[in-house]
Amino acid sequence: MKIALIAHDKMKDDIIDFIKRYKDVFREHELYATGTTGRLINEILNLKVHRFLSGPLGGDQQVGAKIAEGNMDLVIFFRDPLTSQPHEPDVTGLLRLCDVHCIPVATNLGTAEVMIKALKNRVDI
């Protein structure tokens, strides 16, 4: 599967910890990430990841383009619900594209856990 990984600044540690816990699952898939998140995944976890631009610089839109083209299967986006984001319209657009194209999207740890456990157990999602 092609999995997009995105995290707002205050959520970067959380997504790294999450991926670390399921590194064996993520290793089996093609990973994509926005700027800093992708760099951290590569440097800290030594996982191969295709990096897009940083979210505020267009990375969210690049993920959205992959979704619109039918080239993304799953999105994990650890959003910071308590901090206003300067690129909120891009975030909203990305989530809308997930809905339009029926792409499973997790915006918090609980939903991400369910999705990755399904992948780990080879359940279709």
26-44 as b/e: b if 16+ CB within 10 A:
beeeebbbbbebbebbeee
DSSP letter at 108?
A: S
pLDDT tens, N- to C-terminus, the chain (125 residues): 999 999 999 999 999 999 999 999 999 999 999 999 999 999 999 999 999 999 889 999 999 999 999 999 999 999 998 887 877 888 899 999 999 999 999 999 999 999 999 998 886 65
Q: How many domains does the chain have?
A: 1
Which residue range(s) make up the domain with 79? Answer: 2-120
pTM confidence score: 0.93
Q: Is residue 125 part of a domain?
A: no
Position 80 in a domain: yes
Binding residues: 8, 12, 34-37, 54-55, 87
Tell me the CATH number at 12. 3.40.50.1380
Q: In what order do the strands lie in the sheet with 2-7?
A: 49-51, 30-33, 2-7, 74-78, 105-106
- Could you tell me which residues are annotated as the binding site for substrate? 8, 12, 34-37, 54-55, 87
**Active-site position among 14, 24, 60, 80:** 60
In a domain, 18, yes or no: yes
Residue 60 is among the residues annotated as catalytic for this protein: yes
